[in-house]
Copies of this chain bind each other. A is one copy, B any other.
Amino acid sequence: MTERAQRRRRTEERILASARSLFAELGFERTTIRAVAKAAAVDPALVMQYFGSKQGLFSAAVRVAPPLAAHGDTDELVEQLVDSLGLKMGELPQSSLAMMRSMLTHPEAAVEARAVLSRQIAQVAESITGDDARLRAALLTTIMLGVTVGHQLLELDELRAASQKDIARILRPALRAIADTEE
């Protein structure tokens, strides 16, 4: 790869990292192109040149891998759900946080969030039997959303004080109660 191409790729990635961080912390509206540019040590006009618009930058910044992987039985499902709370005690990817931060106030983020959640709901539903599988899947998904929002975005003391393990221990029976349609 030519020197110029590398340079460009690095700069672009630096801008994206700054954007993700600021979008995740402040949301779409309060994040300015100027602030992103400054954090990336770059001229604001360059951000526009690379991503076309603020919305384009946001879209590029929140592009994210699908959160859940496979589908198995309900026990496996519940385990995947509690794991998704923070992948192995680490942090959620900042692109996900950025999307969640803005999903209530930025229309495009809301569209993206609905798409991601619908995909997850459909996937969770595959591990559930019974005719209200979709509703149960939706409740499981929004439950995880609520806990994640409370923990990562609102940073409620009561949740931050707890270990991932304790949260998982308490959550598990509740999730099972929803995922297990009696047998």
Which A residues lie at the B interface, using CB under 8 A?
Answer: 26-30, 100-105, 110, 113-114, 117-118, 121, 132, 134-139, 141-151, 153-159, 161-162, 166-167, 170-171, 173-178
A38 to chain B minimum Cβ distance, whole angstroms, is: 20
Report yes or no: A166 in contact with B132, Cβ–Cβ below 8 A. Answer: yes
Known contacts A29-B30, A104-B100, A178-B173; decide if A142 and B166 are in contact (CB<8 Å).
Answer: no
Q: Is the CB of A174 within 8 A of B178?
A: yes
Is A102 a contact of B103 with CB atoms below 8 Å? Answer: no
Task: Select one of B138, B144, B167 contacting A158, CB under 8 A.
Answer: B138
Taking a contact as CB atoms under 8 Å apart, the answer to whether B135 and A146 are in contact is no
Majority DSSP secondary structure for residues of A touching B = helix
A166 nearest CB across to chain B (Å):
6
* 18 contacts across the A-B interface (CB closer than 8 A): A28-B105, A100-B104, A104-B153, A104-B154, A113-B154, A121-B158, A135-B161, A135-B166, A136-B170, A138-B158, A139-B147, A139-B159, A142-B146, A146-B149, A170-B178, A173-B177, A173-B178, A176-B177
User: CB-nearest residue of chain B relative to A160?
Assistant: B138
Cα(A28)–Cα(B30), bound, Å:
11
Set of chain B residues within 8 Å of A103, measured between Cβ atoms? 104, 154
How far does the alpha carbon of A159 sit from the alpha carbon of B102 in the complex, in Å? 21
Which chain B positions have C-beta within 8 A of A145? 146, 149-150
